[in-house]
């Protein structure tokens, strides 16, 4: 019987929520995490996420890029849930080595350990991202289903933010993206996650280990880092609002994302543990619905009952996509169904935020950094 589970990045947002749920089900949980300052702040002992699991799991302070830390962590484990990653789309465009090391090289080290060191790993579950699809699936009135390439700098500079049909160059309409869609990442982050998928899928097949790759959409909820300005627009916007700072929205505000609540993500991830057949497969995890960024900002303002100005700047960030939302029909066939609507989830998230100490807002510093690297136009 499977009892021992290693979660890398288990002190992070998804990892800590998953660890707590699995503990309640009677699993023995080991967490390997480096307690990154970008997520946990300068003093991890004050981190909401770390404190939620501290003294409840077998905690290994270490790095997924360190072979010895892997060897120490996988001993006696049955399953690995590999969540540790660098996740900022914009940041990935100029901190390339860091993103490749953590998101790609760590998997090579893991596979080397599994190939050459005695272990009893039966399954690896990997957190990938919708970023592997790039723009994803669209419909063209002339050519049907199409998969647009990266938007051109020429069009973006003109304020034309719409993806185009790769055949006729007309505007296209977003469709839910399924797992069979071509992988066409438009950011370094997306490329590293695609590379990770390839390594784990092929490596596990050769070792006779099951692998499940989850392509998460935009995960949100209580516990999300409020001080990390590089990822998670709900957190970024919340911190801006509570510091009474202007919210800048890139492009025209109509770009949209698929927001999926943390409890639903945990439910979906645990489904992978219940699959007893030896498989190597991929699932989308999302709500299956899209919400505009402008709608997010306006709704958060109402929840916090504050009214800082919203600046729809028309600027754009290299590596960003216009729309993407998941076709989740494949994972629904094994029992997944999102339970928390975006309306209810946003209410839960904002109620949690109101109880937290207002964080220092680092957004302006991150913008200056990205501008200096030529990422924001």
Domain ranges of the chain: 4-137+176-372, 138-175
Report whether 64 contacts 36 (CB < 8 A). Answer: no
Q: Give the dihedral of Cα atoms 226, 230, 236, 242; nearest 10 deg.
A: 60
Measure the CA–CA gap between 237 and 229, rounded to whole angstroms.
9
Specify the range with the lowest mean pLDDT, choosing from 101-105, 215-219, 274-278, 309-313.
Answer: 274-278
Homologous superfamily assigned to 4-137+176-372: NAD(P)-binding Rossmann-like Domain (3.40.50.720)
Q: What is the pLDDT of residues 167-204, one digit of tens each?
A: 999 999 999 999 999 999 999 999 999 999 999 999 99
Strands 123-129 and 79-82, by their bridges, are parallel
Residues labelled catalytic: 189
Helix (H/G/I), strand (E/B), else coil: 342:
helix
Question: Tell me, what DSSP letter sits at residue 291?
Answer: E
Determine the straight-line distance between the first and last CA of the chain, rounded to whole angstroms: 54
What is the structure's pLDDT at 238? 95
Task: Please name the residue ranges forming H helices in the chain.
Answer: 13-24, 37-40, 48-53, 67-74, 89-92, 96-100, 106-116, 153-157, 188-207, 233-242, 262-274, 293-304, 329-332, 342-354, 363-372
- pLDDT over 80 at 231, yes or no: no
Report whether 133 contacts 189 (CB < 8 A). Answer: no
Higher pLDDT: 24 or 278? It is: 24
């Amino acid at each position: 019987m499977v009892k021992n589970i290693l979660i890398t990045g288990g002190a992070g947002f998804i990892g800590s929520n998953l660890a707590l749920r699995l503990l309640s089900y009677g699993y023995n949980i080991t967490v390997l995490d480096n307690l990154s300052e970008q997520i946990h702040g300068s003093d991890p002992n004050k981190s909401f996420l770390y404190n939620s699991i501290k003294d409840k799991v077998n905690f290994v302070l270490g790095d997924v890029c360190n072979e010895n830390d892997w060897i120490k962590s996988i001993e006696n484990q049955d399953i690995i849930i590999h969540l540790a990653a660098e996740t900022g789309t914009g940041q990935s465009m100029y901190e390339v080595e860091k993103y490749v090391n953590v998101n790609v090289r760590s998997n090579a080290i893991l596979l080397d350990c599994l190939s050459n060191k005695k272990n009893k790993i039966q399954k690896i579950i990997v957190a990938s991202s919708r970023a592997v699809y790039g723009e994803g699936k669209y419909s063209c009135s002339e050519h049907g289903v199409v998969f647009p390439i990266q938007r051109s700098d020429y069009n973006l500079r003109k304020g034309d933010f719409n993806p185009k049909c790769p055949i006729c160059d007309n505007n296209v309409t977003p469709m839910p993206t399924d797992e069979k869609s071509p992988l066409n990442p438009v950011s370094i982050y997306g490329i590293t996650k695609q590379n990770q998928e390839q390594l784990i899928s092929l490596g596990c097949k050769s070792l006779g280990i099951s692998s499940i790759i989850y392509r998460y959409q935009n995960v949100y909820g209580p516990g999300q880092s409020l001080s990390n300005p590089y990822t998670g627009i709900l957190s970024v916007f919340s911190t801006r609002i509570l510091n009474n700072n202007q919210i800048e929205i890139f492009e025209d505000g109509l770009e949209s994302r698929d927001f999926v609540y943390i409890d639903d993500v945990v439910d979906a991830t645990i489904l992978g543990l219940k699959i007893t057949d030896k498989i190597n497969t991929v699932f989308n995890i999302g709500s299956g619905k899209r919400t505009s960024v402008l709608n997010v900002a306006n709704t958060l303002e109402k929840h916090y009952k504050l009214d800082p100005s919203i600046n729809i700047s028309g600027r754009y960030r290299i590596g960003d996509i216009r729309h993407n939302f998941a076709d989740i029909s494949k994972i629904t066939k094994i029992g997944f169904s999102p339970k928390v609507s975006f309306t209810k989830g946003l209410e839960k998230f904002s109620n949690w935020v109101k109880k937290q100490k207002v964080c220092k807002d680092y957004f302006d510093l991150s913008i200056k950094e990205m501008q200096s690297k030529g990422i924001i136009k």
